[in-house]
Structure 1
Amino acid sequence: MTMAFLCMLAATRIQDIAQTLVDRFHLPCEYAFMLTTALRFVPNFLADSEITLDAQSCRGYSNRGNCVKRLLSYVVVIRPLVMRAVAKSETLALSMELKGFGSNTYKNMPREPLGAADFIVLGLVVVLSTYPFWK
């Protein structure tokens, strides 16, 4: 299932995922936006963690020792990472508020019908996902 999910994320635009969640699964657009925003920020969060780790290692941070010592010393990396994520989320919330998100502006999106290639890929994913069960 994880591989199928990763393949879907690699082959599908985030906007199409949000539109499908709203149209086909009748999920409120706020929840669909929240899910797709979380998917969009995962690579940014990983890049920020790498930048923060590099910056802390330039300042003399060392993650050597046993597991407990490494876990306690990782707080030095987590604090700036969380602060940066909170700042980005506040900026996103402000920009969404200024653009009028949630005022029924996403109800008028055009529907995109599924094509033959979509059904073929969907069938292939189902067959490959259930292969261990019917083998």
Structure 2
Amino acid sequence: MKWLFRYEQKNSLFHRLDPRVKLLWLFGISVLSVVLGTPYLLVALFASTLPFWLILKPSKNRIKAMILVFGSIGLGFILSQALFYYWAKDPLLTLIPPSFPLLGSLTGGVYFYADGAVYGLYQSFRFMTSLSAAMLVLATTHPSRLISGLVSFFEIKIRGKNYRIGLPYEIAFMLSSAVSFAPTMLEESGVILNAMQARGLELKGGVRTKAKALKYILVPLVVNILRAGRKLAISADTRGFRANRHRTSLNELSLKSNDYLFLAYTIFFTAGGLYLSYSGFGGTVPV
């Protein structure tokens, strides 16, 4: 799981793209995943992110983690919609009949709807599409370049002075740090879990046993995260974080020919999706 949000250092075509262009592509994909509504367009939108993964050639660990996450998301949507599908008429299975004591009278019966399962599968592509694009951007963008892209999204020149438009540096640094902490937390939890098991912590059993063992894992995990955050704050202060109001960068971002081509693709792709949405293919359409 720790491989999901970790930067993977390579020299692929997607790595060399400007982070600002990739952020615009992520924004366009996220908007289309919301405004498009027909099942086949949602599947096609998710499939549009897969060629970029082929360009990246991710590691086996990342592929396994992605399959696990996407499978869990799809299964969660299928089960939730199969049980609570608003447009369903005839249930496929009756899980709890209305005559069942207490639960039956409270819920009016719990049913499994085949139409709801199919609907949940298609709707899961909304979330998986945005998640796939976000993981692709994180996997191919170094944290320092990501911060530079968020801070200096674009520049305008007024009366001979250049003004940078973007997020404040503090917020960009906070977002980048939060993303980098995700794999660190997962790695730390694995180390703590192995250490506790080596000391005789019992994890097999019912819910009470697992809940009791959870407190032995959460306390050292929180302590380690606080220590890491304190070290990060001290390192930032020693390097003059927020010392100057106007920061400069060692490596300034500049768009190249590949960036302009990908930007044009993003604009036409997003515009085409919006046109389809407003032409009758938007909204949440029941199966």
Greater strand percent: which structure? 2
**Would the TM-score normalized by the shorter structure come out above 0.5?**
yes
Matching of residues 1-135 of structure 1 within 5 Å = 1-24=130-153, 26-104=166-244, 107-109=247-249, 110-113=252-255, 115-119=259-263, 122=266, 126=270, 134=281
Distance 1:29 1:62 in 2: 45
Q: Which amino acid aligns with 1:20?
A: G
Which structure has more relative contact order (CA 8 Å, sep 6+)? It is 2
Is the 8 Å Cα contact of residues 63 and 73 (structure 1) preserved in structure 2?
Answer: yes
Q: Displacement, 1:26?
A: 1.6
Question: Aligned Cα RMSD in Å?
Answer: 2.7
Q: Identity percentage over the alignment?
A: 24
Cα separation, 2, equivalents of 1:50 and 1:124: 44
Q: CA deviation at 1:28?
A: 0.5
Deviates more, 1:17-26 or 1:28-37: 17-26
- Given that 2:202 and 2:209 are in contact with CA atoms closer than 8 Å, whether structure 1 keeps it comes out as no
Report how far residue 63 of structure 1 moved: 1.7
Give the TM-score of the pair, scaled to structure 2.
0.41
Per-residue deviation at 1:117? 4.5
Please state whether the residue corresponding to 1:104 is helix, strand or coil: coil
Bigger share in helix: 1
Contact kept, 8 Å, 2:147 with 2:173, in 1: the verdict is yes
| CA–CA separation in structure 1 for the residues paired with 2:267 and 2:205 | 49
Q: Which runs of 4+ in 1 moved over 3 A?
A: 120-127
Rounded to whole Å, the distance in 1 between the matches of 2:222 and 2:188 is 10
Do the aligned partners of 1:18 and 1:33 also contact (CA within 8 Å) in 2? yes
Query: Quick one: structure 1 residues 15 and 72, their matched pair in 2 at CA, closer, same or farther if it must change by over 3 Å?
Result: same
Asked if the contact 1:29–1:106 (Cα under 8 Å) also holds between the matched residues in 2, the reply is no
Deviation by residue 1:44-79 (Cα, 9 ceiling, x = unmatched) = 221111000000000111122222431232110111
Max Rg structure = 2
CA deviations over 1:1-50 (Å, ceiling 9, x no partner) = 11110111112222222111111262100110011011122212211110
- CA change 1:42–1:121 in 2 (3 A) is farther
Partner amino acid for 1:113? L
Distance in 2 (alpha carbons) for counterparts of 1:11 and 1:19: 14
Check whether the contact 2:143–2:176 (CA below 8 A) recurs between aligned residues: yes
Letter of the 1:3 counterpart: S
Unaligned runs of 5+ in 1: none
The runs of 5 or more residues in structure 2 that have no matched partner are 1-129, 154-164, 283-287
Kindly tell me the number of residue pairs found equivalent between the two proteins: 132
Q: What's the CA shift for 1:111?
A: 3.5
Q: Does the CA-based 8 Å contact 1:17-1:36 persist in structure 2?
A: yes
